Amino acid sequence: MRSRIDAAIDRALDARQREATEEVDRILSAALGVIEKTGPAPPKVSDIVAAAGTSNAAFYRYFTGKDELLLAVMERGVNITAAYLEREMAASDDPVAKIRTWIIGALGQVGEPRRTARSRAVLSQFSSVPDGQITAPMRDLLVRPLGDLGCPDPARDADALFTTVSGVLRRHAAAETQPGRDEIDHVVSFCLAAIDTDGTQR
């Protein structure tokens, strides 16, 4: 049986965790706003702290520095997109339909000007493509449907498909354009053509 002391400690810890979560979220949102205004120039920690309404001490309590913060900003964006794609893919049990939905949904991320501008601003802060672990939540959504199709190495196939679609996304983000329906249909057909629905590789 839990004591009243344990319950009191748990309540205090829960409150602190909520406060920390809210403060980190404010810092991440502020960082994104500052990056949009200053990019491609690197944002200043002082500007981020001011926009978040917090302090340097609070900033460094959560992040070791600006580089880690920028990775966290990108990670949050990827997680939001992955959650959206996962919900859309759940509407069908057909693995081919799931893959098609993933491709269309991923390419649709450059169809909204504000989202595209934010992505471009964040990517401008990196001299090279960030660690693949950050984009794993999106890429990993493809592993199961590819496995259901009988692919012998669904993880590698998911990586190849993700790389193909990411290339289209980066091209449009850099050019400040968005893919039309014909291009989206072509990318979908191209990716699906690489895999036979009976599970054998072409």
pLDDT in tens, 119-141: 767 776 666 655 577 889 999 99
End-to-end CA distance of the chain: 61
With b for 16 or more beta-carbon neighbours within 10 A and e for fewer, the 11-48 pattern comes to eeeeeeeeeeeebbebbbebbbbbbeeebeeebebebb
| Cβ pair 195, 202 in contact under 8 A | yes
Query: Residues in the chain with pLDDT < 70?
Result: 1-2, 4-15, 111-117, 120, 124-131, 196-202
Give the Cβ contact number of residue 107 at 10 Å. 19
* pLDDT recorded at residue 134: 81
* pLDDT recorded at residue 109: 79
| Cβ pair 157, 76 in contact under 8 A | no
Count how many Cα atoms sit within 13 Å of the Cα of residue 194 in the half-sphere of its side chain.
16
Query: What's the CA dihedral at 192, 196, 199, 202 to 10 degrees?
Result: -100
Give the Cβ contact number of residue 56 at 10 Å. 11
Whole-angstrom distance, CA of residue 81 vs CA of residue 166: 13
**Which residue has 């049990």 as its token pair?**
93
